[in-house]
Every structure is written in C-alpha cells, then in structure tokens.
Amino acid sequence: MRTIFSNEEVAKLRQNPCVFSVSERSVNYTYEFKKRALALHAEGVSAKEIWRRSGFDLSKWRKDYFRGTLNDWKNIVKKHGTDGLLKVGGIQYDRGPSKTEKDTLKRLELQVKYLQAENDFLAKLRAKRAESNSGRMKNTHS
C-alpha cells in the first residue's frame, strides 16, 4: 500500500532541501541527495539512518521503503550511470545542469540547503562528541 501524505506533510516535505518535488502520493529527491545517499550506504550507513540524518520523519513510510528506494537507485546507476538518477520513471524531474538560469538557480539553492542541513547535522554530532569527551582525561604530555 502506498503512502499518502496530508497537505501539512506535503508542505513540510517541500521545505526539506533533499526533496526536489512532492505530491500527496510521491516524493522526488534531488540528484545530490540520491548520490549522497548511495555513497553513505556504500560506507555502511543504513538506509533508514540516511533518511533520518536528512531530516525526514520516518514514521510515515513503510518499513522497507528506504532500502527499496536505495536498491532502485543502485539498479539505475548500474544500467545508466549516475546520470540515470536524473530521470524517474521516464520523466525527467531533476534535470541536472540546466540551460535556463531559473532552473540552474533552483538547483543551486537546493544544493546549498542540502549542504547547510548536512553541516548542521555534523555540527550537532561534533558537539555531542565534545560533550561526551569533556569528562575524560587525555593522555597527553607536553
């Protein structure tokens, strides 16, 4: 059974920098997110963790959605290379480098939002690590 998103959920998903477009029945992800998700998964990060790190509420999707989506993207890359990630179901959603300024601007804005979200996540992670390490004695001699 497919997931159906409410108007509020669609609005929230639209604000996520990893989402290129969204409707009540489907989410289309940015090319950058797809490439980064595949790279993280190759490094051993679980599919669910990739979506969680990217700011998604995981409770709405089926349990196997994340792994299945990554497997679909892996198959596309095997058949068509990474450029194949620019097309979903034969319809070109995220057209990659575009010939029009408006499309290029939107693409760059989405990329900046994604990188900012990733930097925010890493900053929080560093802060947590620093906090947990602050009580430890370091074995350094000067």
Domain parsing of the chain, residue ranges? 7-132
Task: Give dist(CA 65, CA 37) in Å, integer.
Answer: 14
Helix 31-42 to helix 65-80 angle, to the nearest 10 degrees? 100
Query: For residue 86, which of 14, 28, 23 has the smallest C-alpha distance?
Result: 28
pTM: 0.61
**What is the CA 113 to chain-centroid distance, rounded?**
11
Residue 98 is predicted with a pLDDT of 47
Which tokens hold the place of 43? 């490094």
Residue 116 is predicted with a pLDDT of 86
Instruction: Tell whether the model's pLDDT for residue 90 goes beyond 80.
Output: no
- Over range 87-108, report the average pLDDT: 59
Instruction: Tell whether the model's pLDDT for residue 89 goes beyond 80.
Output: no
DSSP secondary structure, 75-112, as one string:
HHHHHH-GGGGGEETTEESS-SS-SSHHHHHHHHHHHH
Task: Give dist(CA 36, CA 33) in Å, integer.
Answer: 5
